Amino acid sequence: MAEIKPIRLALKDASVLNPPDETPLSARFANVAAAINNAYRERFGAASSHSGKLGTHDAIALVAAVSEFIEVSERLDFEYGADGALPLEDAGEAADEALRAATELDSWLDRFDLGNARAELHAVILGIGLWAMRHDLPLQTTEAVVNALAVRSNEAQSKQETAAAFALMQGFIVHLAPQLKADLERSNPERPWRMLNLNFAITAIRSGDAALMRYAFDTLNKHLPDECAGFYEEAYTVASQPGFPNDTRALIEAEHTKWTRLH
């Protein structure tokens, strides 16, 4: 199971709210695949496992699995359209397999000292999740998507990028709710449903946009009421620091006051 890390509670400067253009998934993964394949061959020689047999968890095999899925997904989009249900029973399972393969490649980046390719790999993971969401396909490999969303938010350098991350999280909260909303693993603080909702609220705070914050706070309050007192306590502590925008602090303070009284 992939580790899901919380995103930072901090604000970044910005100006516009339009989402940025997305690089095609095939182009993104081509860069990652080339870097991994080249590093693999330099380390182990020809395109075969260093043990003499190419295993399903070898980098070359994992790259091939993700590449094959991307090719198939593009073919399906061309034939049936980029959105809507697909007349294939195993399309969701194929997306899950691709997500698992892409997630396993993350550890190979460390082995090959390719940390500079990690952002692209996380973008590929998110792209696979988006493909599944556009076609209304259930996903079981949710940890990978939630972590990729956190990476997207953490790497946002403008209000434009932060708002785009917010919109993606909003879409995935709705899409993944049927599988995750029951939230039965209460003992696991890194469970996907918890992290997705908390990160959604943090991303809204980082945007500095009052409407986004109100929406995210309402979502958090509805989905994770047991978490709210602790979340707003921490958020209010950060918001009380010098230089924090007054309007943002006021919204956080109002939630902090409400949930403090309730507890």
- Lowest pLDDT segment from 1-10, 11-20, 52-61: 11-20
Q: What is the DSSP letter of 224?
A: -
Residue 48: the pLDDT is 52
Contact call for residues 160 and 19 (beta carbons, < 8 A): yes
**Residue showing tokens 């020809």:** 46
Does residue 46 register a pLDDT over 90? no
Specify the pLDDT at position 2.
42
pLDDT at position 152, please?
92
Task: Please choose, from the candidates 206, 204, 182, the residue with its C-alpha nearest in 3D space to the C-alpha of residue 192.
Answer: 182
Share of residues in the chain with pLDDT > 70 (%): 87
HSE value, Cβ hemisphere, 13 Å, CA-based, for 77 = 16
Give the model's pLDDT for residue 10. 45
Query: What would the two tokens of residue 77 be?
Result: 């989009």
CB atoms within 10 A of CB 257: 12
Transcribe 114-158 into DSSP letters: -GGGHHHHHHHHHHHHHHHHHTT---S-HHHHHHHHHHHHHH--S
- Write out the DSSP string of 10-46: --------PPPPPPPHHHHHHHHHHHHHHHHHHHH-S
- Lowest mean pLDDT across 13-22, 128-137, 153-162, 203-212: 13-22
Selected residue with higher pLDDT from 57 and 233: 233
223: tokens are 């989905």
pLDDT bucket at 187, cuts 50 / 70 / 90: confident
Mean per-residue pLDDT over the chain, rounded: 88
- In this predicted structure, the answer to whether residue 45 has a pLDDT above a threshold of 80 is no
pLDDT tens-digit readout, 53-93: 556 789 999 999 999 999 999 999 999 999 999 999 899 99
For the segment 190-196, the average pLDDT, to the nearest whole number, is 94
CA distance 205 to 45: 49
Which of 105, 191, 72, 199 lies closest to 142 in space, CA to CA? 191
* Greater pLDDT, 262 or 124: 124
Q: Determine how many CB atoms are found less than 10 A away from the CB of residue 215.
A: 16
Q: What is d(CA 43, CA 46) in angstroms, rounded to the nearest whole number?
A: 9
Examine the pLDDT at 249 and tell me if it is beyond 60: yes
Q: What is the pTM of this model?
A: 0.85
- For the cut 60, the answer to whether the pLDDT of residue 49 exceeds it is no
Distance in angstroms (rounded) separating the CA atoms of residues 68 and 50? 23
3 pLDDT tier (thresholds 50, 70, 90): very low
Angle at Cα 183 formed by Cα 136 and Cα 133, nearest 5°? Answer: 15
Residues 227, 198 contacting (CB under 8 angstroms) = yes
